Structure 1
Amino acid sequence: MAAGYAELLRTRHAARLLVGTLLGRLPNAVAPIAIVLFTRAEGGSYSLAGALAAVYGVANAVGQPLLGRAVDLFGQPRVQLPAAVVSALGMVWLAAAGTGSAVAAYGSVAVAGLFTPPLEGGLRALWPGVLGGRQERVHAAYAMDAVAQEVMFTVGPLLVTVCVALWSPAVALLVLNGVGVLGALSVVVSEPSRTWRSEPREAHWLGALRSRGLLALLGAFFFVGAALGSITVAGVAYADDHGDQAVYGWLMAALGLGALVGGVFYGARQWAGAPEARLRRIVALLAVCYLPLMLVPGPVAMAALAALAGVFLAPALACAFIVVDRHAPAGTVTEAFSWLVTFFGVGAAIGTGLAGPAVELGGTAVGFGVASVAGAAALLVLSATRRVLATAGGGHPVAGPPDGASGAVAQAASGAPPAV
């Protein structure tokens, strides 16, 4: 599969778009960790840290679909770069004002979250055009995208830890957001981003949300996000229990490394059958792997359990990208992917908000227990909506990968005229 990924990256613009998007998304990927560490360094409580991370996540969730719809309507450069700059300024505001003023702290993270550019959905909208509309290559790119994300989620916490160790949490906020602006700039000045236009869309106030299959998927990934959000806070509590804040960075890196390994193995083969059924099985395994975290053993064993908890995350994301593409109504591809980011982000925000009080009331193990409950809830949603996921938004059966394309892939394959 490494050879397959190398072939994809040799395609013109592919490597630049992938790397630029990952760098542009770095501030968003590490924001919960950076906010929690910054708040604790300022003397704030776990509850305040969780609340600030939750506000960031909720604001991000509100902004992603709105900005995604704006990208579908006006193109990527007009939206992505200005949003990245404003989001970075929000984090500069937080670093300068600190947490002494609740209004300033909550306002700064709200601005940073609300204006986070929808680079993730934007990249997936670009893949069909960059890869010539070949569905198997686009699906391989989705898997590569998920694996690359886990590299970012592995390296990101370590970068935060290094910045904090060398300087301070405030400097970490500034450095990472500066990198994010440069990444967004690299993407929007590229030819595919400048020339991309969404296919014509049916006027409908619900936009992508008129697809029942998409709604079912979003409900499940709300709970997957809640699981990861709770681990973010519970991990800090675990590090405090062991008297070494560096343990937190290693736990988060292990979680990302496990997902990286899982994503590589997932992408190493062609999968038969409908991705909706495959996603249900992957999420079941993901939920089971969250349970051992409640054992809270020593740091080495805990890092191993964190890696195990991450193994099925990248496969779940890669499979979810395909499901989104199959269920997104025409002309809403960026918005549909942005809704996935939104529901994931809202879930993560709720997870961080719940884990703080859970740790303070019941201890670190109870904080990790939030992840176990959320994983089970995600599986329950997918099981309860399996019939909905088996049909398209209009009630028709979803075409399988060999027989037809939908969403972004259909747009590239059909040569549909651009619409603004």
Structure 2
Amino acid sequence: MVLGYLEILRARHAARLLAGTLVGRLPNATAAIAILLFVRAEGGSYSLAGALAAVYGVANAVGQPVLGRLVDLRGQPRVQLPAAVLSGLAMALFAFAGIGSLPLAYAAVAAAGLFTPPLEGGLRALWPSVLRKESQVHTAYAMDAVAQEVMFTVGPLLVTLCVSLWSAQAALLVLNAVGVLGALSVVVSPPSRAWRSAPREAHWLGALRSAGLLALLAALLFVGMALGSITVASVPYADEHGGDVVYGWLMAALGFGALVGGTVYGARQWAGEPARRLTVLVALLVVCYLPLLLMPGAAAMVALTVLAGVFLAPTIACAFVLVDRHAPRGTVTEAFSWLVTTFTVGHSVGTGVAGPVVEAGGALWGFAVPGVAGGLSLLVLIATARVLAAPGQGAVVAAGSENDPNRALEPRFSSGDRA
């Protein structure tokens, strides 16, 4: 397991790109938590906090595919760094202005979300040029998902640490400043500066003309919704069992569970159909959400939250393979950005829905939302199984495209559905 990951990290520029992307995405990964804690520190309600987090997420969802398409057309440095700076400045405006003027608060978080750079999609577009081998690219996808869970584990703790040592305002400022530095590290690297997207077929739908990609995005929307609802439902639970420290541990536990699951999943090559495997992973994800309804004491709840996260990273890593299979030629960054967008929209919808649900029925009702959302994701995957299993018929992938590091002529990886 360790040797497989070390082989990836020893590749030239790989460790730098992974670390820079993770640091650059830190503001986006912690935005919902930071906004929730900041609004509460300012005296705002759960509904207002959820609404602001949802606005950030929706704006982020709009911006990611647009910026991703610009990256495919113009290259990474010209888009990523200016976007990171603008996003950081907008969040700084929100931190200083607070919620005294709601129109300004909504505008600031919307701008911060809109200009969030598509670093995640950009990294996945770079892996084939950095690693070359298909098996290494698949392992990198899993390692990427695992590394993100490290960030999701550490991120909540960093937010709560900043809040404890300084303030919720300082947490917003520090995390966004660090995020700009991470983006800078990525865009000045040789692979980022040299990368160019393959020629693309002119089409106003871009990556969305792929039926397989649309089916996958529909399923991941509900997975994101489940995760977002846990973020909100955990706040009132933590208030009754120890406060911000417990909340930070719950969020870290969710990320830690995904880290463990993703690490094990990425340690081997999986034979068989990725679409079928994704259905199984989502079903297991739903099963692990249900024990959260028990709401035991803080220590036991942290353990249940770890369990709830175990199949998250494997689900995302498997989805990466399917995105790569179904992305039309010349749209790889945009396609991965659509996945980020859809997950973010789902997360935002989850926070927006869970806020009123929690106020109406407490944390118990809030923890029921993830199970419902996960069940809907499973239904989507079952209904679209044939489309997802098809070898990307709607995609236009040719030899030598950035989607296929082995230069396979078929619109799929050449090893026969090994992820």
TM-score bucket of the superposed structures, by smaller chain: over 0.9
- 2:115 is aligned with 1:123: no
1:410 equivalenced with 2:404 (yes/no): yes
Distance 1:69 1:289 in 2: 36
The answer to whether the 8 A contact 1:71-1:79 is kept is: yes
Identity of aligned residues (%): 73
Task: Report the CA distance between 1:408 and its aligned residue.
Answer: 3.3
Q: Is residue 297 of structure 2 the alignment partner of residue 306 of structure 1?
A: no
Q: Give the CA deviation at 1:274.
A: 1.2
Post-superposition shift, 1:268?
Answer: 1.7
> How do residues 375-390 of structure 1 correspond to structure 2 at under 5 angstroms?
375-390=374-389
| TM-score when normalising by structure 1 | 0.95
Cross-structure match for 1:49 = 49
Task: Please give the per-residue CA displacement for 1:200-242, whole angstroms capped at 9, x wherever unaligned.
Answer: 0000100000000000000000000000111111111111122
Task: State the 1:243 CA deviation.
Answer: 4.1
Kindly provide the CA deviation profile for residues 82-123 of structure 1, in whole angstroms up to 9, marking residues without a partner as x: 000000011101110001111011011000000000000000
Cα distance between partner residues in 2 of 1:233 and 1:192: 38
Shift of 1:394: 2.9
Cross-structure match for 1:322: 321
**2:320 is paired with a residue of what secondary structure?**
helix
Aligned to 2:350: 351
Q: Deviations over 1:31-86 (max 9, x none)?
A: 00000000000000000000000000000000000000000000000000000000
Alignment of structure 1 residues 279-294 onto 2, 5 Å: 279-294=278-293
Offset at 1:30? 0.3
SS at match of 2:404: helix
- The Cα shift of 1:406 comes to 9.2
Counterparts of 1:292 and 1:411 in 2: how far apart (Å)?
41
Find the residue that maps to 1:111 and give its secondary structure. helix
- Amino acid of the structure 1 residue aligned with 2:274: P
1:277 matched to 2:276? The reply is yes
SS class of match (2:25): helix
Give the partner amino acid of 1:77. P
CA–CA separation in structure 2 for the residues paired with 1:145 and 1:395: 27
Shift of 1:390: 1.5
**Structure 1 residues 179 and 395, CA, compared in 2 at 3 Å: closer, same or farther?**
closer
User: Deviation digits for residues 117-148 of structure 1, max 9, x if unmatched?
Assistant: 0000000000000012x111100100110100
Question: Deviation of residue 412 (structure 1)?
Answer: 6.8
Matched letter for residue 371 of structure 2 = S
CA contact (8 A) 2:400 2:407 kept: no
1:352-367 paired onto structure 2 within 5 Å: 352-367=351-366
Query: For the Cα contact (< 8 Å) 1:18–1:123, is it kept in 2?
Result: yes
Could you say which residue in structure 1 is the equivalent of 2:15? 15
Cα deviations by residue, 1:143-165 (Å, 9 ceiling, x for unpaired): 11010000000000000010000
The match for 1:236 is 235
SS at match of 1:410: coil
Q: Aligned in 2, Cα 1:80/1:395: closer, same or farther, shift over 3 Å? A: closer
Contact 2:326 2:394 in 1 (8 A): no
Residue 395 of structure 1 and its aligned partner are, at CA, apart by 5.8
Say what the alpha-carbon RMSD is for the aligned residues. Answer: 1.7
Contact 1:75 1:194 in 2 (8 A): yes
| Contact 2:399–2:408 under 8 Å retained in 1 | no
Unmatched segments (≥5 aa) in structure 1: 416-420
Corresponding residue of 1:262: 261
Instruction: State the shift of 1:269 in Å.
Output: 1.5
Distance in 2 separating the partners of 1:73 and 1:182 = 24
Counterpart residue identity of residue 413, structure 1: R
Could you tell me how far apart the structure 1 residues matched to 2:400 and 2:267 are? 24
What displacement does 1:391 show? 1.5
Distance 1:47 1:407 in 2: 46
Contact 2:119 2:183 in 1 (8 A): yes
Q: Is the Cα–Cα contact under 8 Å of residues 325 and 408 in structure 1 kept in the other structure?
A: no
Q: Secondary structure at the match of 1:408?
A: coil
Q: Which residue of 1 aligns with 2:69?
A: 69
Whether the 8 Å CA contact 2:210–2:327 is kept in 1: the answer is yes
| Contact 1:326/1:407 (<8 A) preserved | no
Map of 2:413 onto structure 1: none
**TM-score between the two structures when normalised by the length of structure 2:** 0.95
Structure 2 counterpart of 1:332, which letter? T
3-state SS in 1 of match to 2:203: coil
Distance 1:394-1:269 versus aligned 2 partners, 3 A rule: closer
Which residue of structure 2 lines up, in the alignment, with residue 418 of structure 1? none
CA shift in 2, pair 1:289/1:406, >3 Å: farther
SS in 1 for 2:270: coil
* Contact kept? 2:228, 2:346, Cα under 8 Å: yes
Partner SS state of residue 63, structure 2? helix
